[in-house]
Amino acid sequence: MRRYSQLLREALKNSEPDRWQAIIEEWQNQIDKEIQSRKETMEKSHDPGKLEYEIQQLQRQKERIERQKEQLTRHRKSRK
């Protein structure tokens, strides 16, 4: 997540909205992969509670990224 935050700050600082969009999409895909991986592991796990918690955390992250993406879209529209 630190890498994501750093890339985000750089993109905003340099006013690179297309780069920002690419970063968001990359992280959304990464989170989706992590969620899927945890779900597959949970089926075989002896401690599904921990994995369920991790899945919930990842889903919250995904929601935050989606909100940021929406804000970027609104910001880009308002600048035109």
How many C-beta atoms lie closer than 10 Å to residue 24's C-beta? 19
Q: Tens digits of per-residue pLDDT, 8-44?
A: 667 666 666 677 778 788 889 999 999 999 999 988 8
pTM recorded for the entire structure: 0.71
Q: What pLDDT shows up at residue 21?
A: 78
Average pLDDT, the chain: 82
Q: Are 55 and 42 in contact (CB under 8 A)?
A: yes
Taking the C-alpha atoms of residue 37 and residue 74, their distance in angstroms, rounded to an integer, is 32
Q: What pLDDT shows up at residue 34?
A: 94
How many C-beta atoms lie closer than 10 Å to residue 58's C-beta? 19
How many C-beta atoms lie closer than 10 Å to residue 74's C-beta? 10
